[in-house]
Structure 1
């Protein structure tokens, strides 16, 4: 598409397009300058939000109930299943780094989304196949638990291959769709800049609308009807997402590559040249001469070692190679902007570890409780996650239309509260959710003991599943603060041209968090089961101690909030907001 082309400047001066109506830095699908009133804005964003609803419906149709499929038809233990879920979620959150690199450096966001959608459909199709074909899913499987062919090895191979193909595909889809949606708003225009800030709120609202439908409808189909149908519907949903995306092609704004080359390559060169000159200190005259009036004054004192990239070959006592020229001040500032993100990235990892529990132990916890509504109907345990989505859908309009305007009156800032303040508020709420989860689990264990069900894990504990709702709701409200804040922060604070990379860095927080959660579970499992007794994560949850684990996470969250506050208070924003 036009993303790989350089916009022609000849048409920009046409009298048919006044300068005030032309959006700089973007072109239409044919590579021509675009008129503000005919492209982009909420018109184009509506198509992309529709794509997100369908894609998230498909993704959560797999991820939300994955632990049930692994412990059910695939016969895995609770610990093994939790580790596999965390490993897959981690891969799904780390692969966007690769997808974003391909998009920003080579294909452009539009093409990457297109190719990723096709791979997505292929992966979901194979996943459906693994659960549908009689040769892969024999009818006597339920009765032959001891047989090594149940489930058959071929079914396991196809299932995990297709599962990771889905993770690979969404790695290209996820960061590019969101960045492409935000690209439809011009940050230099006051009205569109404010709309872009709202876009992140409504994007996340749509994100959770798709997931909530998946959690309430698909989980019921998977638990009570058929896994093949439960995997097939997400495949159809992804086909619909691709159709919606293509329908908006003519309305989109496409970024184009400038003559400066790939920003990834420029930033990499800064670190390489600075490393080559690590023994040399740049003189003040070099820095000032290179800077002129372009140097960003705020934050100039940070990461001064990167200023070594300003030294030329002739000025380096080590004789820097001739083919490795000095970097410009703007390139050094780009590298510093990226480096400033990493303390924030690292201090949010505890939040990601806590976040991983909603799709693993929270679900197994709910499966032991009374989930009946009326006579005969039981809520699927995985559907409890819909309370996260529901609380987000209800709270986003309140946040966007009530809290932000009120906070603007006090802070005099267009955004009401800063992005980092928003992220920190959500981290505190997630810590509180872990405290609530620990208290509820302690009560569940007490009721199980009082009812004589400690050694009867198959029996339903006479405790309503509604006890779990507060911890899910707190998760949802925390997400409105932290998740949306992280999305906007990593999109806004990366250098221009690296927005997909920025959003993939945000996603990688949850990828690394899932891996850390899996590692933490494995360590605790080994330590607590070493004496031959019941571990914290015993298959018999009435003998386990998930409450201890939740208290541990609450403590880690408290430490994480303190460290986050320490780094965020000195953070220097890349630029002032337009409004």
Structure 2
């Protein structure tokens, strides 16, 4: 079971305190108190890590080479394909907010994972069908579906995009719950398990990258050299297997109990609504019965921030427009969520940068010499696997070498604080875009030198390995930023809102993908006026991706400056080292 009411753990009253080996606020699949030695910890977490590895293999097996499918089979322009991919990626990362609401308020993480996995598998099945449609003799012995001569692509396009967004819906329930459910297998109040939980986020992302690495490296080759139907069908089978693996761990999981009462979303929403309604009310004077309540909140770290929310605690006799005042704990919950938003907003630029490897980096690679020996050509999308390789290599070094050294220097159990880790990744991302801009400039100069400006289909005599540094830097940047964001948004929200915290982290990349799509569309329109070549021209030899990369480098520097400003004033909910 995924979510339980505290009153249904046992039908008989407890006559004595729970034994020490039980884990507070968690139960097993039969609603009995979870036993530390039998439930949860690394054994259960590994089931969940394997599930996420499979899901990432399926996801990246689709997304990594999607631009080749859209510009090839679908015959879309480079700018349109990039905008479509960024929009889909953005929606995929925004939907986890709804998935988290569904999990935390209604179904619970366990059942949300199962339901979303079924939708995911359905989407992958339809995606496989859409890739096979052109080979079905137009479904009717060469006659058009729409009645016109030839073979109509309309049915294929409709099924393809329905399938693609079903995958997005499936991921929307899967992503915020699986990671939070994995972290729930560790007791944050136990010193040993608390340290293991911090390590879990590192190994979680290690598994994510292994899955992505296999999806990019293997499936992009299948799609380019065998068939798109097989390239989309394999992820469908893998996702089905991941659901079976998840169900196998049912008996070992720890399930977090859900307290009876108002949904945490309703509580937090009510705090903001009450504070807004009371915006014109005055703070009680000394001696007022409400003054003691207001003063209590000033004893906690961070409670002096966002003091306008304290007005939600004003009693009905002070604010006649609301019938019930909010409690101190409810206001503190709302403040905890409110404190996250400056960090959320200042990392959006990184999310725009994050969208580039699957789109323009890959299109660059298609134009370059990809041969290895006389017979084998590297799929351009396969270079994305080096991001995963770098992360797979770097995370164990970080977790086993750098963190112990940093612990001795900082006395922080995590080595460096979560915000310091995120900031380091943002700093490296600036250099990633600088290197990408310089490399693209060299690619354009090589095309000019060999007279290939107007021959976009001719391979430029420049090795694809020139792109490797930007992928490597991106991988290192991601290892710092992504893991730091995951831990930060999980750790810094109230316990009942951890799925929401992770969905907020994912929404960074959702909105970032949509912003990238919008930015590409605006720049494409602005730079193609008056018959000029767009920065994203279908003929990349006349495009200017280098200008776009320099623009992103500048935005990234601005984003880092704003991040540092807000991070310095951030007050952690718990006793963590500060930036």
- TM-score, normalised to structure 1, is 0.95
SS at match of 1:20: coil
CA offsets per residue over residues 74-119 of structure 1, 9 Å max, x none? 1111111000000000000000001011000100000000000111
Preserved CA contact (<8 Å) 1:27 1:256: yes
Name 1:520's counterpart in structure 2. 519
Name 2:145's counterpart in structure 1. none
Give the 5 Å matches for 1:15-30.
19-30=19-30
Preserved CA contact (<8 Å) 1:286 1:310: no
Which blocks of at least 5 consecutive residues in structure 2 are unaligned?
143-147
Preserved CA contact (<8 Å) 1:41 1:192: yes
Relative to structure 1, the CA distance from residue 381 to residue 11 in structure 2 (aligned partners, 3 Å threshold; closer, same or farther) is farther
Instruction: Find out whether 1:247 has 2:253 as its counterpart.
Output: no
Instruction: State the alpha-carbon separation in 2 of the partners of residues 355 and 178 from structure 1.
Output: 20
Instruction: Find out whether 1:47 has 2:50 as its counterpart.
Output: no
Preserved CA contact (<8 Å) 1:56 1:207: yes
SS at match of 2:412: coil
Instruction: State the alpha-carbon separation in 1 of the partners of residues 163 and 250 from structure 2.
Output: 29
Name 1:298's counterpart in structure 2. 301
Preserved CA contact (<8 Å) 2:275 2:310: yes
Instruction: State the alpha-carbon separation in 2 of the partners of residues 92 and 137 from structure 1.
Output: 33
Instruction: Find out whether 1:315 has 2:318 as its counterpart.
Output: yes
Name 1:459's counterpart in structure 2. 458
Name 1:144's counterpart in structure 2. none
Shift in Å at residue 18 of structure 1? 6.0
Preserved CA contact (<8 Å) 1:110 1:180: yes
Shift in Å at residue 138 of structure 1? 4.5
Instruction: Find out whether 1:84 has 2:84 as its counterpart.
Output: yes
Preserved CA contact (<8 Å) 1:136 1:152: no
Instruction: State the alpha-carbon separation in 1 of the partners of residues 178 and 167 from structure 2.
Output: 16
SS at match of 2:356: helix
Q: Which has the higher mean CA deviation after the structures are superposed, 513-522 or 359-368?
A: 513-522
Preserved CA contact (<8 Å) 1:295 1:329: no
SS at match of 1:228: helix
Instruction: State the alpha-carbon separation in 2 of the partners of residues 137 and 210 from structure 1.
Output: 35
CA offsets per residue over residues 249-303 of structure 1, 9 Å max, x none? 0000001111343211110110111111111023154555326867652212211
Instruction: State the alpha-carbon separation in 2 of the partners of residues 172 and 310 from structure 1.
Output: 34
Shift in Å at residue 2 of structure 1? 5.0
Residues matched between the structures, number = 568
Instruction: Find out whether 1:489 has 2:492 as its counterpart.
Output: no
Instruction: State the alpha-carbon separation in 2 of the partners of residues 173 and 485 from structure 1.
Output: 20
Preserved CA contact (<8 Å) 2:93 2:506: yes
Name 1:230's counterpart in structure 2. 231
Shift in Å at residue 219 of structure 1? 0.4
Name 1:155's counterpart in structure 2. 156
Name 2:173's counterpart in structure 1. 172
Shift in Å at residue 136 of structure 1? 5.9
Instruction: State the alpha-carbon separation in 2 of the partners of residues 31 and 292 from structure 1.
Output: 40
Instruction: State the alpha-carbon separation in 1 of the partners of residues 2 and 214 from structure 2.
Output: 35
Shift in Å at residue 412 of structure 1? 1.3
Relative to structure 1, the CA distance from residue 488 to residue 135 in structure 2 (aligned partners, 3 Å threshold; closer, same or farther) is same
Name 1:361's counterpart in structure 2. 360
Name 1:101's counterpart in structure 2. 101
Instruction: State the alpha-carbon separation in 2 of the partners of residues 151 and 97 from structure 1.
Output: 37
Preserved CA contact (<8 Å) 1:2 1:30: no
CA offsets per residue over residues 523-552 of structure 1, 9 Å max, x none? 111111112021111100011110011001
Preserved CA contact (<8 Å) 2:422 2:485: yes
Preserved CA contact (<8 Å) 2:91 2:168: yes
Preserved CA contact (<8 Å) 2:5 2:260: no
SS at match of 2:317: coil
Relative to structure 1, the CA distance from residue 379 to residue 286 in structure 2 (aligned partners, 3 Å threshold; closer, same or farther) is farther
RMSD: 2.0
Instruction: Find out whether 1:131 has 2:131 as its counterpart.
Output: yes
Preserved CA contact (<8 Å) 1:11 1:32: no
CA offsets per residue over residues 436-492 of structure 1, 9 Å max, x none? 000100011111100111110000000010111110011111111100000000000
Instruction: State the alpha-carbon separation in 2 of the partners of residues 253 and 326 from structure 1.
Output: 35
Preserved CA contact (<8 Å) 2:417 2:576: no
Instruction: State the alpha-carbon separation in 1 of the partners of residues 392 and 550 from structure 2.
Output: 28
Instruction: State the alpha-carbon separation in 2 of the partners of residues 373 and 150 from structure 1.
Output: 37
SS at match of 1:179: helix
Shift in Å at residue 12 of structure 1? 8.9
Which blocks of at least 5 consecutive residues in structure 1 are unaligned?
142-146
SS at match of 2:258: coil
Instruction: Find out whether 1:35 has 2:35 as its counterpart.
Output: yes
Relative to structure 1, the CA distance from residue 199 to residue 76 in structure 2 (aligned partners, 3 Å threshold; closer, same or farther) is same
Shift in Å at residue 11 of structure 1? 7.2
Name 2:292's counterpart in structure 1. 289
Instruction: State the alpha-carbon separation in 1 of the partners of residues 538 and 59 from structure 2.
Output: 27
SS at match of 1:264: helix
Relative to structure 1, the CA distance from residue 22 to residue 504 in structure 2 (aligned partners, 3 Å threshold; closer, same or farther) is same
Give the 5 Å matches for 1:362-511.
362-511=361-510
Instruction: State the alpha-carbon separation in 2 of the partners of residues 512 and 123 from structure 1.
Output: 22
Instruction: State the alpha-carbon separation in 2 of the partners of residues 191 and 30 from structure 1.
Output: 26
SS at match of 1:482: helix
Name 1:58's counterpart in structure 2. 58
Relative to structure 1, the CA distance from residue 12 to residue 232 in structure 2 (aligned partners, 3 Å threshold; closer, same or farther) is farther
- TM-score, normalised to structure 2, is 0.95
Instruction: State the alpha-carbon separation in 1 of the partners of residues 116 and 27 from structure 2.
Output: 23
Preserved CA contact (<8 Å) 2:369 2:459: yes
Preserved CA contact (<8 Å) 1:130 1:137: no
Instruction: State the alpha-carbon separation in 2 of the partners of residues 64 and 488 from structure 1.
Output: 25
Q: Which has the higher mean CA deviation after the structures are superposed, 296-305 or 410-419?
A: 296-305
SS at match of 1:30: coil
Give the 5 Å matches for 1:180-191.
180-191=181-192
Q: Which has the higher mean CA deviation after the structures are superposed, 124-133 or 449-458?
A: 124-133
Preserved CA contact (<8 Å) 1:136 1:155: no
Instruction: State the alpha-carbon separation in 2 of the partners of residues 258 and 137 from structure 1.
Output: 57
Instruction: Find out whether 1:352 has 2:355 as its counterpart.
Output: no
Preserved CA contact (<8 Å) 2:185 2:254: yes
